[in-house]
Structure 1
Amino acid sequence: MIFKPVTHVLFDMDGLILNTENLYTIAFQNILSRFGKDYTFELKQRLMGLQSLETAKLIIKELDLPMTVEEFLEESNKEFEKLFPDTQVLPGAARLIEHFSKHKVPIGLATSSSLESYHLKTDKHHQQLFSLFPYKTFGSSEPEVKNGKPSPDIFIVAASKFPQQPTPDQCLVFEDAVNGVKAARAAGMQVVMVPDPRVNKKDTEEATLVLKSLEDFKPELFGLPPFENEQ
């Protein structure tokens, strides 16, 4: 496959840089278990990339929960406060972010998380790594991002924050979720996907490139500076 060279890079966060998708599963299952319900992977896939409000509405509707959206969000936040401070960086993520930063490749964070959730996930252990992102977009906190993924809003807004605004075809997105890939493609951008192993291969076909891990990414495929001592 031929890839087009890019100049700017956008990263999703949950499930790509941090292991928070696993923590979301634990948090939501803790809530649902009170009502004898299961948080299935099928439902999880539909939720990945949605904003907080959209997530709460869909879970309540799909599982017929006797809760209001406000109650679900409140219970979720209690779970997040317990789980998110001890997030872990996923393999290859820090190396890639540090590499782009070192070589002055413009990078931005494009996460559906709220600003509050972001701080819960990063402040304790990962401030230094995330300080390398000069531009950050928080889908659940910024009114400009009107719709969550798979709508392209977040990537369009994130790209607009670069001082020298790139065209969509100059942007490369890193994602783990099917909704995120759809959003990037809808924004006119190439996208590298690192999916959960349980994702059906057919659901990864829209991605420009599919990898098992960020450790396997070769920047030069997209015209970006290669890792030192590697061809």
Structure 2
Amino acid sequence: MDRGKWSKKLSKADEKYHFPDGYKLLYSPWETLKKAKIAFISLNPGKPPKNAELKVVSDERGNSYEVEKEITESEITPQFLSLCKFLETSPNDVLTGTICPFRSANWKNFLDGSIFTDEQKRIGLSLGEEFWLDALKKINIIISVGNETTNLVVKILDAKKNLEISSGWGKVKLKRYANSQNKLIIHLPHLSRFLLFSRQNCIKPLETIFNK
């Protein structure tokens, strides 16, 4: 996959459709596409740390969650790092990105129309679908955060649900999907709100959904 091509695609869409807060497609170096067997996909970029680059196709410093762990205000960062520890894998070995690359301060703003128009949402998700259709070819396990992300990943991979269990957090469910190529999709709720890896009674359900 060509980083320059995707940089131009995002820049052109950003300029044409007037997205308000920039974009970020991958929270990993572009080279991670060649080696990763696990992907972690969230809905869209949130509020960035101070002085962060607002328009970038990938983070060439390393995995953003690890690089920015001392300066970020996002709850998802420690949850992602706990997930990597849970999976016994380095953050740098996880292809980390967004299903819609265009930024909003809060993930709810993406959905409720207060930031993005319907056309902007359509364009953002269309670009995400195009990218991940190719990017997931060598990935075995896809961790998708939030219903919107999971729905699109399931569509891209033509996967079927084979397990749904309680997360140990109220009525929140964990779901597992698989397709004919034995690619697994693990659906998690948004980890900036549901801090599953910080709650002891969520660990057993997580072990079940991940086949640990």
The TM-score normalised by the length of structure 1 is: 0.32
Higher RCO by CA contacts (8 Å cutoff, separation 6 or greater): 1
Structure richer in strand, relative to its length: 2
Q: Which has the larger radius of gyration?
A: 1
Structure richer in helix, relative to its length: 1
